[in-house]
Every structure is written in structure tokens, then in C-alpha cells.
Structure 1
Amino acid sequence: MQEDPQQKEIAHRRQFSVRLNLFFFATFVLFSILIVRLAILQFVEGPTLKAAQDKISTKDVRIPPIRGNIYDSTGETIAYSTSTQSLYFQIEPGFKNDEAEQFARRLKEVFDKYGDPEKAMTVEEIIENMDLTFRRNTISVPRRIKSGLTNEEIAYFAENRDQFKGIDIVEESIRHYDKDTVAVQLIGYLKKFKGAKDLSFYKNMDNVTDPRLKYLDDEQVGFDGLEYMYQEQLRGKNGLKTYPVNAAGRIIGPVQITNPEQGNDLYLTINKQVQLRTEQAIMDQLKELQSTPNGRGANARTGYAVAMEVKTGKVIAMASMPDYDPNVWEGGSILTEDWNRLQRFMENGTIREVYQPVEDYGKHPSSLVPLGSTIKPLTVLIGLNEKLFTTDTYYNDDGVFYYGKEGIHRRSIRNARGAVYGMMDPARAIEKSSNPFMAEMVGNALYMKYKGDEGVKVWDSYMKQFGLGVSTESGLHNELKGIIEYFNEAKSASVQSALVQASFGQQGRYTTLQLAQYAATLASRGKRMKPQFVNEIRDANGNLVQGFEPVVLNTIDFPDSYWEEIEQGMRRVKVTGFEGFPYPFLRKTGTSEQSVAGKIVDNAVFIAAAPADDPVLAVAVVVPEGGFGGQGAAPIVRKIFEAYDDEIGFYGKPKNPTKPAGASKSGSTTKAAGADTAESAE
């Protein structure tokens, strides 16, 4: 039976009516809610929202801080910063290189008319600073054209900015270094923060929220040496330009300026005059060695020296020569050709492994050389303390000691130049630098006393007590601990070979700073001092922020008779260049043989401390490929001792103080005193 069509139509209409009513009801409810909400916004929350709209917030623009200065121990300026206005140039799209000369000439006209005559620039210098070939920066980085703008230059460029597309005037801090190039690798240099973020100190600096401590990408920061080590003290705090802004970000009032806070100043232990004379002594000695045809030191190209006070640990001089002028880093970047030419001079060879600046790289020794015979005072101390012999023991040096199994594994240890010294006690063994004594009485005797590799471990323990193979704790960035080789020798050859070779100065390579610390430890009879480079830190007003006291890292307790025995031997070592020296002094020469690129080379090593009766200053000098230590390195130490006595005084009073500007370090023709006197042994 079919449904009535009329009834079906009525049912459809009724359903539609219900749906329509539901729609209107829902619409009514929604509009009612909206009206109520609008009423609440208007009458209840309105005043609060109106206050929020009118509320003033601030926007901070950071001003780079002015870096603190660095002074030597007498207050002479080594590094300082100036706040200046600089002209920068941004390469804009469409700028053509053939437009550069005309652009540079227009800039030169302004510089000549309104600028400081002492800072005049040539067109070529302006074009070079524009860096159109991207040698220094990428295209997006602004180039600094000129620093130290005068007020007249600033006013002109501000009024005529539209005539010089791409220019901008920036307030910045410029770092300047002493033109005498004083301890430049120790002082370090600056780079832009955005290029230094890989260094550990800067890795989390982007997370700093305090606007006065937050780094700017183009800010110059310490990248090496003391500039990096004391970055936090030297930096200071940002200045701020604080602008009041409303919720829409519009500036609605005058700017409030918080001036930058200048960083603290460092007063170093380095004495400028002693430092300059140390640097000059190295360069003079290198020239002397190179001028001797077919001499043992004819290939010497570099030299390293550290002078450290025995009782305080203060480093008076630290030289890695040749050096360079760190002002090439002005602005936080360097030209590619300057980098290629100078990169090997930038590294501090007294704490790191640095190679000679020669084209045949890898064919010459680095700054890290074996101790050579300078180890022998310590070797004797080890023998005495291990009861391998006594101070009254006599040994017959017949010029050679054999070890190893008979046959192809048999090895011989001989004296330099094949010398035979006959009967000797430990002191004479040091004086004559007897290799057979050290090898048989200490190295081989330790091998016989201990089982397995225990003897090597005992040897290593003594080395580390004297600072060899461990950090000096100087705090300098990337300081090496030296390279220990006797463990590898024990595994690859034999324990006997490792101990015998180590006993006379092989099987370990160490930095010049480690050698200076070792020499000071010997001179102090067992107090290993922390090397210190800063006497005090003061704020910009001269108020003391932090002082420094001597720090004893560890002590070695041996009977006085042991120390007296090695001192007796060290007093008698014959060397070149000390004729007429007015003080008795402790010393030990070293000629460390080293295999480099298939050939054997001799490195000159020398340690000393003066005066012998109450040592004040310890010095270590290394001249790679310098030949015998008593000839290639000792004359440098003589000049360092004299410089210290003149400027500071072994007995607390300067003997002949001077304060002239430093001499050129290109080398001189002056021959080292006593150069015709040879040492007796190494």
C-alpha cells in the first residue's frame, strides 16, 4: 500500500520547521554569548586592556664595552683600546669593481679636507680596505675603511650619506699593541665574537640574557694568550641605548643612555725591557749561528726562552722568536696574504709545538725537542733516591756502555765526541755530562731493580713531580703537557731500552715553559711553582680587584746531601758566553739528538739558575737545530741574566735600569761574548 503523497509533504515541512527553529535558536544563543562577552570586554576588562595598550616598554640597543688595558710590571702599556668612530663600507648589489677607484677618490677628498692629516690615506689603501676580492670577508660583511674619524668627517658623511652608497659610521673599540712587539704570542690577539664561538669560553655566550653581558657578533674578543685567558676581566660591560616603546613597537620618548663599563686592567709579571732584550738575544744568536758556514747551528731558524723567578713563579720573559706585529689583527680580522705569511709566528712555541717558518715544512724539528743532557741532574737525583748509588760512589767512565742481547740487538751508549772521563762521582758525572754513567748507573739499574714495566712507571712518577709530562698549570690556552715516548719504547722495543735512553734525555719532548719550571724546581730544591703572568688586576680607576700570591704545586722531599751533590756538578759545567759573569750559577747544557725527515739533527737546550747560593731566576732556552746547548743556547741565557740584573736586580736593586724604546729584532752583527770558547761535553 503506497503512502499518501500529501501526508508525506506535511511530514517534510514539519521536519524543516523544526530544523529551522533549532538553527534560529542556536544563532540566538551564539549572538547572546557574543554580546555578553563584548559587554564584559567593554565594561569589565576595558580599563585593564586600555592600560595595557598604553603601557610603555623598552627596547635596548647594546653599545660595545671598552676593553681594559695590559701593562708590563713597571706600568708600561703593552695593549690598550680606544673608542672611535669608524667609516664602514657595505658592498651593495650592482656595485661594480670599476667604480671602486672613483668612489675611493671621492672618499679621499673628504678625508683630505676634513680628516686628521696624520691619518691620511691613499686611494690604493682605501681600495684595499674595500676588500672587493673578498680576501678578508664575505660579501655580506661591512668593510672598515677608516678609523678615528674627526667630528668634521662624521658631520660631512652624515649630511651627504646619499652621495656615498653603502657607507655607515659605527662607534667601536679598537685594540692597539705596542709597536715594539712585546711578548706578542703570550699577550695574544682579538677576533670577532662570531668567529670565536668554537672556543670553550664562548660556546654558551649566546644564551646570556643580561643585556650588559651579552656579546655582540662583531665585538672583538680575546682569541689567544692572555687576551683570551683573562677575557672576562678585560671585557667590561656593554653600554645601552634604552628606547621607550609602546605595544606597537613605536618609540614614544627620549632615549636613555647607559655608558659602557670599561674592563679591568692587567699588570703583568713581564718586564718589558727584559723581554725585549731576551727577544733581541735570540735573534742575535740565530744570526750568529747562521753566519757560521757548515756550523752545527747553521740551519737554526727559531729560538724560545722563558725566564721564571724561582721563589714566586713569576714569568719575567717569555719569547717565541721570530715574532710578528699583532696590529695586523686590528678590526678582528686579517688579510689572507698576511695570514699565510705570519701564521707560524703567531703560535707560542714556548708552550706548543711550532715548526720553523721555512718552505720545506716537516724537514726540521719543531719547538718541542728532547731534553738532552739537561735531564741529568734529575737522573742523578733519581739514582740517589732509589738507593742505586750514594754521593760517595765512584764509577769508571770508559766512554761506552753496552746493553741488550748479544748480536744485532746489542746497543752502545757513548759520550759526545767519544770522550772518556775515567773515575767520577755523581757530581762529576753531571759536570762532564757522562752518558755511560746515566745509562748504566740509573737507567739500567732501574731496569734491574724493578720487574716488568714497573721501572718505567717509577721513572714517569719522578718526571711528573718535576713538571715533565704534566701541565705547568699556567692556564694558557692549548698549552701542551709534552710528549712522553718511554712507554711506547718499552712496548715496541724493551723496558731496558726505554729506561736507558730516557736516563740521558731521550724518550720525551717538552715545552720551554716546562723546562723553565723544571729548572726552577731544581734550583728551589723541590718546590714546583705555578707559572704566573699577572701581578694584579685593577679597575679603570686604579682600584685593586685581584692580587696574586705564589702557588706551590707540589714539593719533592730529598735529603740536602742529594741536592748539594747535583748543585756541585751544575756549578762546574763549562759553557760558552759566561766569561766574566759576576755570579756563581747553576746550569746544565743539552744537545738533544733527534731524527727528522731521515736525518739526525742537534737541538741546543740550556737551563740555568742564578745566583747559585740563593737562586732568584731560572731560565730555559731551546734553539732547534742550534747544535751544542753550551754554544747554541747558553749565550742567550747570559744576556737574559744580565737584563734581569740591570732592570730588576738579583739582590732586589736594579743594577742599570733603562727605559728606552725596544730595539729592532731583525738581528744584529754583534758576536756573542766568548764565542771562541768551546764547552767540554754535552
Structure 2
Amino acid sequence: MSNIPETGRTTRVTVRLVAIQILVFSLLLTLGGRLWYLQIRNGDEYSDEAASNHVQQVIQPATRGSILDARGVPLADNETRLVVSASRTDLMKMKDDGKAVLTRLADVLDMTPKEVMDKVRLCDSETPQPCWNGSPYQPIPITDEATTQQALQIRERAEDFPGISAEPTPVRRYAAPAESNAAQVLGYLSPVTDDEIKEAEDSESPLLRSDQIGRSGLERAYDAQLRGKAGVTRYEVDNLGRVIGQRESDKAQPGANLVTSIDSRVQAVAEKELHLAMKEARKVHDKNTGTNYKADAGAVVVMEAKTGRVVAMASNPTYDPNAWVGGISAKDYKKLTGKDSNFPLLNRAIQGQAAPGSIFKVIPTAAAVNAGYPFNGSYPCPSSYSIGGQVFKNFESKGHGSITLGQALEVSCDTVYYGLAHKQWQKDGGVDPKKNPADWFYKTAHQFGLGKETGIDLPNEVTGRVPDRQWKKNYWKANQKAWCKNGKKDGDYAERIAYENCLEGMKMRAGDAVNYSIGQGDTLVTPIQMATIYGAISNGGTLYNPTVGKAIVSSDGKKVDEIKPKSHGKLPMDAKTRKLIDDALAGVATRGTAAWRFGGWPQDKIPMHAKTGTAEVYGKQTTSWFATYTKDYAIVMTISQGGTGSGASGPAVRNIYNALYGIDKDGKIDKKKALLYQPQAKLPKIEADGTIDAQPVGKPYVAVGLGGRREDQ
């Protein structure tokens, strides 16, 4: 028997009962508090979340706005196609991840199973194209070129194709009017990514998972205006997925239309002339290398001189932007991005950088005048110029005696600019400069807008380079270790240069100054920069921000926002100097280095001004440059590894002017044949229903031989 008294045993039981009661009460109190928190304190929030779990959204994509040329002709619009799509979510629920379904689908679409399966895999850093870089919850398009018979097979045998849809869908179309391409100007679309959706959450134009957005060109620059706003229909459903009601929905709002300053007819001419000029250049023998010129890339810009509006912009090599519609194939993606592609996605008019050669000379001419050297002074033009033991030769080693700065522009005398740049370099202190050197030649280049973006309304413009003293210091700091490691005093050319740069690469040497004065050395420009400069010389001195967009027109036509020309500065010269340079450039076209390309030109009616350029590039053949302007237009063309400026680019530029002004081979003007005798001032007519009245395009431009007249056939 237990020796514990009865009273002690009772006390212990009582304590236990009390403890259990306290524990139960505590649990009930905790549970009650939690229920109060969930149902009262945060009741509305959880109620909304619960309701949303039973709401399904159906997205109606907005119709993307069209991109139109200056006459209302569609450059990019939409067309209805039969689109076959796959729901990755449904496929992943299948035991084989949908492989059997996709294999059957491939057979219907006349594709290989691999082609179809590659389309639905998700993109990441290790997955090559084709792949899907949009939301994994969004239907993934397999093809936008399905036939009616293929679509019917899929829909009538729905049990064999779970997760597969075949629907008529509006898709982007790049129309290529007059056989113009304009790929780099227009850009292309691809699906939105989750990161982009998150970034745009608080913006004025949020993104939906179904959206396609612009990736380059105008499609990217004006994406928010073109995209519109997708419609969303919200359905209430029960836990079995049955619709039990409809909630408030948002109607789709179509995107606005973008009217550009591009004339599709002139664009076609520019593209074909550039292509033909490159083709012809490859037939010419380069005596320096012993082979024909490679002419591997080029660009041309046609700009309104008085506004900066771009009438045509061509880049070569190019591509078909329709390749991106519905998802790009592996074959096409490799063509566009492979190491042998020569990067056709680049817009070389705004992203191609090269030494400008002699078309740069308008800048040191203005710099010399600003530094106090008289324009009509007398300057020696010997066949060569020596600095220490280094000899800098004139082009083709010709001498012209003593000439003015205007004559130096006409005959493109290098040694005049060598002498001026060398003297100014010495005045500024040479390799040990004064505390505040004047640096007129570099300062003036910056004032012309070089070394920075022009502000064109296209993405990814590059800045070019003005190799002034500060750039030299920065470049030396970045490369000193590599130079000192690889440089050899008695090595090959590259090793000797590295050795010299290791020791004093931060200093501005005499050779740097004289090379820079003729657009050589480390100087880099883009075609759009030079077109802006030559346009400014034409218009009286205003440097305009180049623009391609001309107006944004709402889908109903009621709202028109015109994009007005804007200026980013004035040329650093007075009216007298500008007039003298203008006269000299007219002399280039009539009696100077470009005269042989403008024989028979109606100079009395349409004064032509020009400057040729042949830039040397280490390890490559020379770059061809041709810069020109009239009272209406500035045209600049460049061809990489194409030879001389007047030789390779000159004939093509002349033929673009012939087409613009309607000039025949005898120099007679026929305004009826002119594509754009004067720049297009007015916007195309907008009808009451919002449609834009497009003017006829005419027949495609046909090239009939370099140097001859191109006509609409």
C-alpha cells in the first residue's frame, strides 16, 4: 500500500486538473485569437484572395498600331493568320511531358518533332534559340503559317491534341512596300519576359503575359504607343471550373499608328544603290593588298537638311524582319547571329563606327579659323610632311603648291591640315601641354556634336570617339598593363606600338595630332553623325536631332501628336565661315575630287556640295565615305573595305539624287519622275474612321547599271 496520505493524493490530482484546464483554456484563447485575426482583422483581404482563386482571366490581345511611311504606306502592320499554339502548362501535366502530342503535331504541320519541341522549351542562359522567352503560362506559338486543312485536323481531333489550339490571330507583318526592307529601322517583336512584366508594374503602360514588345528599331523606341492595351474578360468559376458569373472586364484598346519621315520609295532606292555599290566594289582590285575589295558592310542616310528628319536609312548586310514573326527558327537565328553572319542586326547607320577620313576635314577647317588662321590665307600643300623621322604623305603623294583652306577642301590636301594641326599642337605645349591648352581641333569636334549621341529616336545609338587628351589618359589607364606585357622594342608593328604606348601612351604626340586632323588615327564617327553635320552646313548652322518618327496618330484618328524637329546646338562657326565652306564644298562637286561623279549635274538649278573620304584602317582595306548635300537633303554613304569615297560610294549617291529630283543621264530635270523633289511636309490624310489614306507606292525601283539612271519600271 502507498504511504502517501489521502489529502496529498487529492492535492496532486487537483493541481494536474488545474494545469490541464489552463492548457486547454490557453489553446482555446490562441485559436480564438487566430480566428479573430483571420476573419475580422484581415477578413477582407483573405476574402478577396479566396474570390480571386475562383476568377479566370481571358486575354484579348490589343491590335498593335501600324508603322507608316511619310505618305501613309504601311511599313509594318498586322494580318490575320492561322496560329497553332501549345499550352506548356497542359503538356507538363502529361506523363511524357507532352512528347507524344508534340510528335503527332509535328506530323500534321510537316515539321520535325525536334523543331516543335524546341519551340516550347524555355529560354535561359544555356538554351540556344529557338526557345520561348515569354511566360511559361502563356500559349506558345508553334507556327503562324498553318493551312486551313492543318487547323481543321487539329480542331476536329481535339482528343489527340490536348493543350494544342489553332486559331485565327492577328500577327505582325513587315510589308516591304516598293521592295524596301528597312529592317534595322523597323526592328522586330518578341514575347515579354517575367522580369519585364515586373519592371513595368508601376509604369503608365504595364505589361501582360500575352504581350509582344519591340526589341529594336522603331518597334522598341515607340513600343508603348504602338502596343495599345490588351483586353481582359474575367469569369467567376466554381471549384469544378464551371462559369458561374462574369466580373468587370476591360476592353482592348488598339495601339496608335506611327507616321514616319521614311519614304518607302526612296528607302528602296537607297537600299538597292548601297547593295549595288558594294557588289561593284568587290570587282575592283586593291593594289595595296593584291586582292579585290571585300566591301563587307555599309550604310547610307538620306536626311532632310532643314529638319533632321530621316527620309531613308539603309544598312548592309540586312535581314527580313518577318523571320521573327511567330518565333524565329534555329536556322534563321544562326544566320543572324553566327560569327560568319557579319551581324546584320546592327544598324550601321547609327551603330557602325569608323575613321571618317577626309569628310572630317570640314571640322579642322572650322577649327583652324577659330584658332586664328585666315580661311583665305596661303598654306603650303607639299606631297609629304615630316615630323622628326616620320613622313606623313599626301593622298597619292601629290603636291599643290600654296593654297587656301577652301582649295584644301576641294583637292583634299592632307598636308595643309598636317601643318596646321602640328603648329597648334606645338602652341599648346606638345607632349607637355600648358595648364589649359586651347586644343582647338578637339574642342571644335565636340562642338560639332562628335563623341556623343545625336539623339536620334532609335535605340542603341553609339557615340563615336574624339581622341582628345582626356581620352588618351583614360585609354592609357585601361590598357597600360596589356601594353607593357605584350610590347617589344624590336618586335613587329603591333608589338612596337604596344611598347611605345606602355611608356607614354597617355601623352598626345605630334603624330596623334596630325593623323587626327584628317580624320584618321583613333577618331571614330557614325554615318548619322556626319549626315547631321553636313545637313547643318546646308541649313545655315543648326544641328538637328535626327528623327524617324513624324507623328503619333490614335487608332480613331482623333488625336495627332506631331513630333517636331529639335536642335542640340549650332555649328561653331560664323555665317561668313559657313558660306566659305559651303562654296568650297560646291567646288568639290564641280572641280574637285567628286567632280567626276557629278558630270552633267544641273548645278545652276540644284547646287550640289560634296566631300570625299578614303579612311585607312589598320589590318583592313580602306573605308569609302561620301558626304553630300543640296538645299533639301544631306546624303552620307560609307562602305567598309570598299576603296575610295568617290570610287565606291560616289555613283550610288549620285543615283539616289537622280531618283529624288527626277534627273536623267543628260542632267535634265523631270519633276514628274522625281520621287521627292521637295521634302514631304504634310502628314498623310486621316479619314473620319481613323484610317490613313496611303498614296500609291508605284512599281519597284530597278537598278540598271552603276552610274546610269534608275527608274521605276
**TM-score (norm. length: structure 1):** 0.79
Check conservation: 1:603, 1:623, Cα contact below 8 A.
Answer: yes
1:501 aligns with 2:515: yes
Give 1:606's match in structure 2, choosing from 608, 611, 626: 626
Residue of structure 1 in register with 2:340 after alignment: none
**Alpha-carbon distance between aligned partners in 2 of 1:510 and 1:264, rounded to the nearest angstrom:** 34
Which range is displaced more, 512-521 or 157-166?
157-166
**Alpha-carbon distance between aligned partners in 2 of 1:31 and 1:427, rounded to the nearest angstrom:** 98
- For the structure 1 residues 438 and 137, does the alpha-carbon distance in structure 2 shift closer, same or farther, using more than 3 Å as the test? same
Which structure 2 residues correspond to residues 321-470 of structure 1 after superposition, within 5 A?
321-331=316-326, 333-343=327-337, 344-353=343-352, 368-387=353-372, 389-403=373-387, 405=388, 410-440=389-419, 442-451=420-429, 452-453=432-433, 455=437, 457-470=439-452
1:595 aligns with 2:618: yes
**Alpha-carbon distance between aligned partners in 2 of 1:186 and 1:9, rounded to the nearest angstrom:** 101
- For the structure 1 residues 255 and 161, does the alpha-carbon distance in structure 2 shift closer, same or farther, using more than 3 Å as the test? farther
Check conservation: 1:489, 1:497, Cα contact below 8 A.
Answer: no
Check conservation: 2:119, 2:132, Cα contact below 8 A.
Answer: no
Residue of structure 1 in register with 2:707 after alignment: 672
Residue of structure 2 in register with 1:113 after alignment: none
- For the structure 1 residues 86 and 259, does the alpha-carbon distance in structure 2 shift closer, same or farther, using more than 3 Å as the test? farther
Check conservation: 1:397, 1:421, Cα contact below 8 A.
Answer: yes
Give 2:215's match in structure 1, choosing from 223, 226, 230: 223
Quote how far apart the aligned CAs of 1:17 are.
Answer: 5.4
Residue of structure 1 in register with 2:634 after alignment: 618
- For the structure 1 residues 553 and 420, does the alpha-carbon distance in structure 2 shift closer, same or farther, using more than 3 Å as the test? same
Which structure 2 residues correspond to residues 530-569 of structure 1 after superposition, within 5 A?
530-556=545-571, 558-569=573-584
1:649 aligns with 2:657: no
Give 2:165's match in structure 1, choosing from 145, 168, 174: 168
Give 2:233's match in structure 1, choosing from 241, 244, 262: 241
Larger Rg: 1
| 1:607-662 CA distance string (max 9 Å, x none) | 1111xxxx2211111111221111111112112222332222148799xx982253
Quote how far apart the aligned CAs of 1:276 are.
Answer: 0.4
**Number of corresponding residues:** 609
Q: CA RMSD in A?
A: 4.1
Give 1:580's match in structure 2, choosing from 600, 608, 615: 600
Residue of structure 2 in register with 1:365 after alignment: none
- For the structure 1 residues 456 and 301, does the alpha-carbon distance in structure 2 shift closer, same or farther, using more than 3 Å as the test? farther
For residue 319 of structure 2, what is the amino acid of its counterpart?
Answer: Y
Check conservation: 1:53, 1:247, Cα contact below 8 A.
Answer: no
Check conservation: 2:425, 2:510, Cα contact below 8 A.
Answer: yes
Quote how far apart the aligned CAs of 1:13 are.
Answer: 3.1
| 1:48-78 CA distance string (max 9 Å, x none) | 99x9799976553433322111000011111
> Gaps spanning 5+ residues in structure 1: where?
109-122, 354-367, 675-682
Quote how far apart the aligned CAs of 1:241 are.
Answer: 1.4
For residue 270 of structure 1, what is the amino acid of its counterpart?
Answer: I
**Alpha-carbon distance between aligned partners in 2 of 1:32 and 1:281, rounded to the nearest angstrom:** 87
Identical amino acids, percent of aligned pairs: 22
- For the structure 1 residues 188 and 661, does the alpha-carbon distance in structure 2 shift closer, same or farther, using more than 3 Å as the test? farther
- For the structure 1 residues 286 and 93, does the alpha-carbon distance in structure 2 shift closer, same or farther, using more than 3 Å as the test? farther
**Alpha-carbon distance between aligned partners in 2 of 1:418 and 1:34, rounded to the nearest angstrom:** 98
Quote how far apart the aligned CAs of 1:168 are.
Answer: 2.6
Give 1:307's match in structure 2, choosing from 289, 302, 313: 302
SS of alignment partner, residue 5 of structure 2: helix
Quote how far apart the aligned CAs of 1:559 are.
Answer: 2.9
1:481 aligns with 2:509: no
| 1:486-523 CA distance string (max 9 Å, x none) | 54668526442222111111130111111111211222
- For the structure 1 residues 555 and 9, does the alpha-carbon distance in structure 2 shift closer, same or farther, using more than 3 Å as the test? same
Check conservation: 2:119, 2:131, Cα contact below 8 A.
Answer: no
- For the structure 1 residues 238 and 457, does the alpha-carbon distance in structure 2 shift closer, same or farther, using more than 3 Å as the test? farther
**Alpha-carbon distance between aligned partners in 2 of 1:671 and 1:30, rounded to the nearest angstrom:** 96
**Alpha-carbon distance between aligned partners in 2 of 1:513 and 1:300, rounded to the nearest angstrom:** 20
Residue of structure 2 in register with 1:115 after alignment: none
SS of alignment partner, residue 266 of structure 1: strand
Give 1:662's match in structure 2, choosing from 700, 704, 708: 700
Check conservation: 1:456, 1:498, Cα contact below 8 A.
Answer: no
Residue of structure 2 in register with 1:62 after alignment: 59
**Alpha-carbon distance between aligned partners in 2 of 1:560 and 1:567, rounded to the nearest angstrom:** 10
For residue 466 of structure 1, what is the amino acid of its counterpart?
Answer: F
- For the structure 1 residues 652 and 24, does the alpha-carbon distance in structure 2 shift closer, same or farther, using more than 3 Å as the test? closer
Which structure 2 residues correspond to residues 47-196 of structure 1 after superposition, within 5 A?
58-82=55-79, 86-89=83-86, 94=96, 104-105=106-107, 107=108, 123-124=110-111, 128-129=115-116, 131=118, 136-137=130-131, 144-147=141-144, 157-158=154-155, 160-169=157-166, 172-179=169-176, 180-194=179-193
Quote how far apart the aligned CAs of 1:601 are.
Answer: 2.2
**Alpha-carbon distance between aligned partners in 2 of 1:458 and 1:561, rounded to the nearest angstrom:** 19
Residue of structure 2 in register with 1:360 after alignment: none
SS of alignment partner, residue 627 of structure 2: strand
Quote how far apart the aligned CAs of 1:260 are.
Answer: 1.7
- For the structure 1 residues 608 and 25, does the alpha-carbon distance in structure 2 shift closer, same or farther, using more than 3 Å as the test? closer
- For the structure 1 residues 616 and 466, does the alpha-carbon distance in structure 2 shift closer, same or farther, using more than 3 Å as the test? same
> Gaps spanning 5+ residues in structure 2: where?
122-128, 338-342, 474-503, 662-673, 683-694
**Alpha-carbon distance between aligned partners in 1 of 2:219 and 2:384, rounded to the nearest angstrom:** 51
- For the structure 1 residues 248 and 512, does the alpha-carbon distance in structure 2 shift closer, same or farther, using more than 3 Å as the test? same
SS of alignment partner, residue 384 of structure 1: helix
Residue of structure 2 in register with 1:515 after alignment: 530
1:264 aligns with 2:263: no
Residue of structure 2 in register with 1:213 after alignment: 206
